[in-house]
Amino acid sequence: MTTNDVLKNLTQYNVWANWRVLKSFDRIQGDLPDYAQLMFSHALNAQAIWIARITGTKSPVTVLQRHTLPELHQLHEQTSAKLAELYANADEAELNRTIEYTNTQGKAYSTKVQDILTHAINHATYHRGQVARELRLAGHEPINSDYVTYVRIVYGQDLEI
């Protein structure tokens, strides 16, 4: 498997894992645990911000903007698949293109597109872990969004979604 195949798998995994978290949120009766909602909002916000940086557009969200469950579904639809699409449509030149941007604290940076995509996926994974912890602390059973679970399902080794 090449590095490109790994990044392709990870972008597709990110779509699946974010969808799984949303499905677990859908099953919760009443309000979502506050911090879980904030951290998942942040993960999707970050995806939108990175997409805006890559595409040279204005982000529709801020980094710690909190979203309702319907808004989270909408933001997932707008960002998770878009990250996978950006990768799928990128050639070597695009993946190695350097993006100049200013972070949320106003500091200037430059980063390659492939590194941004890798970071966005790792960032979301980190925050999905925080979401799982918060759900458990609030008495809810968190959903399994592990990469190996995704791989098992994709290759037909585990049909339980």
List residues forming the annotated binding site: 42, 123, 127
CA distance 86 to 109: 20
Residues 56, 109, 85, 63, Cα dihedral to 10°:
-80
Point out the annotated binding site for a divalent metal cation.
42, 123, 127
69-93 as b/e: b if 16+ CB within 10 A: eeebbebbeebbbbbbebbeebeee
Phi, psi angle pair for 35, to nearest 5°: -70, -35
Name 122's Cβ contacts closer than 8 Å, sequence gap at least 6: none
> Which amino acid is located at 106 in the chain?
G
